[in-house]
Amino acid sequence: MIALSDVQAASRRVAGHIRRTPLIEVDPAPLAPAARMWLKLELTQHTGSFKARGAFNHILAARDEGRLPSSGVVAASGGNAGLAFAYAASQVGVPAEVYVPETAPPVKVARLRALGATVVQVGTRYAEAQDAATKRAADTGALFCHAYDLPQVCAGQGTLGLELLEQTAGEVDTVLLAVGGGGLMAGVTTALEGRARVVGVEPETIPTLERALHAGRPVDVDVSGIAADSLGATRLGDIAYAAASRTGVRPVLVTEEAIIEARRFLWDEYRLAVEHGTATAAAALRAAAYRPAPGERVAVILCGANTDPSDLT
């Protein structure tokens, strides 16, 4: 449902609106045996997560095509996507209304309001907030901003993959990233198709990708656990499923304990304060749920930093 040309167009569109985030090469030994290893610090992106890429692409495309109404945008989000849409809307000069679950972390809700967004808290799951946001957008004519299952959003996230290829001079073999609804995975695997493989890492408590690939279609899953605030989609997006099926994304599951340990490791070793959802990708290496082959060159995407760091010290 998205192609490399869509990601390339997104890269041109969002240039000057997003940050080119750092890539650092690290000693692979503390994470896993590998020939080379990089950490992609997408946690330094505007609003603290990769979501700004897709938000800008979606809103700017609508503006360029005359589809952006004065009523602005309506988004549904567990937190990070809402922050990104609120920020992008403020930069473009239109209002934003963001629907979040009542379980959204207070730090994210406070930041949404600081960005000027109207925040509406509905239900305890992302799906409930999404239903309310969809109805609100239909009632007001605002541009609906789905967190992970819109072509322009997924293509925007894929700009991270193009950037990674440039920064590694095309030498990366495998990219590990966390999967919730799958927008990041959809974009990155499309950008890297034929160049590098993608491993989609999920908490055992939210296996949207693993269940979808097993069932042959996206299916609902129960949502729970420490990473639910950022990876808490109840099912994989259709665009993500199509991309994963086409490109052979490998699903890997990790435990809650492995996520907690990986998050603390990233702080202790590199002084990187990340969300539990972000630590999920590194947990696959730390817990040996994914074992690189001899000579494999691996990049880990650290995708978000909207967390309370008080429990890291």
Rounded distance, CA 261 to CA 185, Å? 23
> pLDDT tens for residues 7-42?
999 999 999 999 999 999 999 999 999 999 999 999
Residue 1 confidence (pLDDT): 87
> pLDDT tens for residues 106-130?
877 888 999 999 999 998 877 788 8
**Three-state SS at 93:** coil
Residue 78 confidence (pLDDT): 63
58 and 73 Cβ atoms separated by less than 8 Å: no
**Which residue from 60, 179, 78 is spatially nearest to 125, judged by alpha carbons?**
78
Domains and CATH numbers, the chain: 4-50+157-312 (3.40.50.1100), 51-145 (3.40.50.1100)
**Which residue from 151, 182, 145, 163 is spatially nearest to 19, judged by alpha carbons?**
163
Rounded distance, CA 194 to CA 188, Å? 12
pTM for this model (two decimals): 0.94
- Mean pLDDT, range 185-208, rounded to an integer: 97
> Where do runs of H (alpha helix) occur along 115-255?
126-140, 151-167, 183-192, 208-215, 228-231, 238-247
pLDDT at 234 over 80: yes
> pLDDT tens for residues 282-299?
999 999 999 999 999 999
> pLDDT tens for residues 79-110?
789 999 999 999 999 999 999 888 877 877 88
Residue 232 confidence (pLDDT): 82
> pLDDT tens for residues 258-271?
999 999 999 999 99
- Mean pLDDT, range 133-150, rounded to an integer: 94
